[in-house]
Amino acid sequence: LLMLDQPACEYCALWDAEVGSVYAKTAEGRQAPLIRHPIHSAPLDGVALVRPARYTPTFILLSNGAEVGRIEGYPGESFFYGLLQNLLTKADQPAQKGEK
């Protein structure tokens, strides 16, 4: 799970306070370990995004370096985990006809 953030992002700080300290200990954190990266830095090598991120935080679920889906912004702890579960489920499903 790639988290794009920036200094002085109050929603990034809120995510840190509500989720960040325990994320690695959750089932989701074990399935999708967190990689933090500044939003305005050069893209990470080997990562293919569908489109550039514009908001912080943006959470991008990657599979073999390719974007599966994203959560733009931080909607609160319970919504975050629900949205992340949807992305993790999507990542586990085989591609449908016509999908890459």
Closest of 9, 80, 10, 75 to residue 39, by C-alpha: 9
Strands 35-38 and 2-5: parallel
Question: Does residue 97 have a pLDDT over 70?
Answer: no
Question: Does residue 12 have a pLDDT over 80?
Answer: yes
pLDDT digits (tens, 9 = 90+) for 44-55: 999 999 999 999
Question: Does residue 21 have a pLDDT over 70?
Answer: yes
pLDDT digits (tens, 9 = 90+) for 58-92: 999 999 999 999 999 999 999 999 999 999 999 88
Mean predicted confidence (pLDDT) in 23-39: 96
Q: In what order do the strands lie in the sheet with 2-5?
A: 35-38, 2-5, 58-63, 66-72
